[in-house]
């Protein structure tokens, strides 16, 4: 399980936070992980170019998945609130 907690228990449980704030996160992880794993099998190809591109594409699929789950919500929270870090109450 992924968490960002200190030894004293303070911190953030990433998996629990994703389940509560983004219920579609499981689908994103399943799709990104499946695509990354499928393309990573190209690394075993006897063709050097295909093997190199398999590693590159697998890295890019997984990196884009993590960006969609973590980076984009963090950036939108920061940019849409003017740098305050919390959404304004309606």
5-61 pLDDT, tens digit per residue, is 555 656 556 666 666 767 777 888 888 889 999 999 999 999 999 999 999 999 999
User: Does residue 54 lie within any of the structural domains?
Assistant: yes
User: Does residue 37 lie within any of the structural domains?
Assistant: yes
- Domain count within the chain: 1
Helices 48-66 and 25-40: crossing angle in degrees, nearest 10, is 170
Q: What is the pLDDT of residue 90?
A: 44
User: Does residue 64 lie within any of the structural domains?
Assistant: yes
User: Does residue 68 lie within any of the structural domains?
Assistant: yes
User: Does residue 66 lie within any of the structural domains?
Assistant: yes
Range of the domain at 36: 32-73
Instruction: Round to the nearest angstrom and report the end-to-end CA distance of the chain.
Output: 34
User: Does residue 59 lie within any of the structural domains?
Assistant: yes
pTM to 2 decimals? 0.62
User: Does residue 51 lie within any of the structural domains?
Assistant: yes
User: Does residue 23 lie within any of the structural domains?
Assistant: no
Q: Which two tokens stand for residue 88?
A: 């304004």
Q: Which residue has the higher pLDDT, 73 or 30?
A: 30
């Amino acid at each position: 399980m992924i968490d960002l907690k200190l030894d004293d228990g303070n911190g953030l449980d990433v998996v629990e936070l994703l389940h509560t704030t983004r219920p579609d996160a499981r689908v994103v992880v399943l799709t990104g992980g499946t695509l990354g794993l499928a393309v990573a099998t190209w690394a075993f190809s006897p063709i050097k170019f295909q093997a190199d591109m398999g590693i590159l594409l697998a890295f890019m699929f997984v990196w884009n998945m993590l960006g969609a789950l973590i980076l984009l919500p963090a950036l939108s929270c920061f940019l849409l609130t003017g740098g305050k870090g919390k959404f304004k109450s309606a």
